[in-house]
Amino acid sequence: MAETPRKKSRLIPEVDFSRDGKQTGFVRLFHSTHDSAYGFLPIPIVVVRNGDGPTALLTAGNHGDEYEGQVALTNLAKWLTPERIRGRVILLPMANFPAALAGRRVSPIDDLNMNRIFPGDPDGTVTRQIAHFIDSALIPLADLVIDLHSGGSSLMYIPCALAKQSANPAVFERQLAALRAFGAPYTYIQGGAQGQGGDQTLGSGADRRGIIALGTELGGTGTLTPAGLAIAERGLRNLLVHLGILPRDEWREPPAPTRFLDVRGPEMYVYAPENGLFEPLVELGEEVAPGRPAARIHVPETPWLPPVEVRFNAAGIVMCKRIPARTKRGDCLFHLASDLSIA
């Protein structure tokens, strides 16, 4: 069950989560600096409520250089009205506000990646305080949390939805039902694979409380992909219909049912074995077999040496690819996803 936070958040929302109607404003994070002694960082928030009913918490900008979710929630902030819904929707389009404002994965204030520090700390640096506010003040209000991501500056994804498999089978069933409603072309299920944040992500904060946690990877490379945005916009509405927050006539049928994929093993990832220049040998969406060459790492500093070849260790679809050619040992170059055997 949920742990009771030892300390209350220092952040102050300008909205009242229990009030009916549509409220817009900021969560104030007081941050005393040389330039602004008594000032606050204004984290935008929108709350739309119409009576009792389920609550959806929709977040984006957890990583500041991932844009489809930020725009989808910005559009939803204008479209959602209390008359349209039953229950409550909470929108946080720039969750790590300083990072989103800077267009960076990590905060320019404390250099922290917010999706690796949950449940946060009310007495910590700025990013730790935001994570703690989301974890202790927003997530407990929700029946479902979806945290919208893309690949960020260094990665490109085939647009997809995802969930980390809840250890609670009943919650996992509800995750799968919600993912079917979201209706992305692909949906992958994470296990505890290295590098994906483990129990330090926003979604893990929801899962700790038995709340349905979903995510997305809608594109990447620090740009906004129209196809990813369209998937997010249709998916969010369908998710709200699925929860009973929006009426059935707002449902938009996806072109095809989502294809469930599995990214639960470390063998699905390919890493650079050396520093050098990354030459990809496959493209996103290709289906590969184990042993297929994935990349060459060239070393122009010693051009007489042969490139290092990297091979895939598993079969699957290429879901994600590194973008910058300049690569260091340990960088993730690709990850695969294989078909998931569920219903």
| Residue 66: CB minimum distance to Zn ion, A | 5
Interface with Zn ion by CB under 5 A: which range of 50-58, 60-68, 203-211, 257-265?
60-68
For residues 245 and 257, give the distance between their C-alpha atoms in angstroms, rounded to a whole number. Answer: 22
Interface with Zn ion by CB under 5 A: which range of 43-51, 62-70, 80-88, 285-293?
62-70
- Using the rule CB under 5 A, is 63 a contact of Zn ion? yes
Q: Which residue, 110 or 173, has its beta carbon nearer to Zn ion? A: 110
| Residue 187: CB minimum distance to Zn ion, A | 17
Interface with Zn ion by CB under 5 A: which range of 11-19, 32-40, 63-71, 222-230?
63-71
Interface with Zn ion by CB under 5 A: which range of 55-63, 178-186, 223-231, 234-242?
55-63
- Using the rule CB under 5 A, is 104 a contact of Zn ion? no
| Residue 217: CB minimum distance to Zn ion, A | 7
Q: How many of the chain's residues bind Zn ion (CB under 5 A)?
A: 3
Give the distance between the most distant pair of CA atoms in the chain.
71
For residues 139 and 272, give the distance between their C-alpha atoms in angstroms, rounded to a whole number. Answer: 37
- Strand 293-298 vs strand 308-311: parallel, antiparallel, or unpaired? antiparallel
For residues 319 and 193, give the distance between their C-alpha atoms in angstroms, rounded to a whole number. Answer: 15
Kindly report the backbone phi and psi dihedral angles of residue 76, in degrees, each rounded to the nearest multiple of 5, phi listed first: -65, -35
Tokens standing for 27?
């969560």
Residues 131-170 within binding reach of Zn ion (CB under 5 A): 149
Kindly report the backbone phi and psi dihedral angles of residue 70, in degrees, each rounded to the nearest multiple of 5, phi listed first: -60, -40
Q: Which residue, 196 or 258, has its beta carbon nearer to Zn ion? A: 196
For residues 267 and 161, give the distance between their C-alpha atoms in angstroms, rounded to a whole number. Answer: 21
For residues 169 and 311, give the distance between their C-alpha atoms in angstroms, rounded to a whole number. Answer: 35
Q: Which residue, 106 or 144, has its beta carbon nearer to Zn ion? A: 106
Say whether the peptide bond before residue 119 is cis (omega within 30 degrees of 0): yes
For residues 247 and 238, give the distance between their C-alpha atoms in angstroms, rounded to a whole number. Answer: 10
| Residue 271: CB minimum distance to Zn ion, A | 19
Q: Which residue, 23 or 154, has its beta carbon nearer to Zn ion? A: 154
Residues 66-95 within binding reach of Zn ion (CB under 5 A): 66
| Residue 116: CB minimum distance to Zn ion, A | 10
Residues 178-237 within binding reach of Zn ion (CB under 5 A): none
Q: Which residue, 66 or 143, has its beta carbon nearer to Zn ion? A: 66
Angle at 155 between CA 235 and CA 45, to 5 degrees: 45
Q: Which residue, 66 or 207, has its beta carbon nearer to Zn ion? A: 66
* N-terminal to C-terminal alpha carbon distance within the chain: 28
Residues that bind Zn ion (CB under 5 A): 63, 66, 149
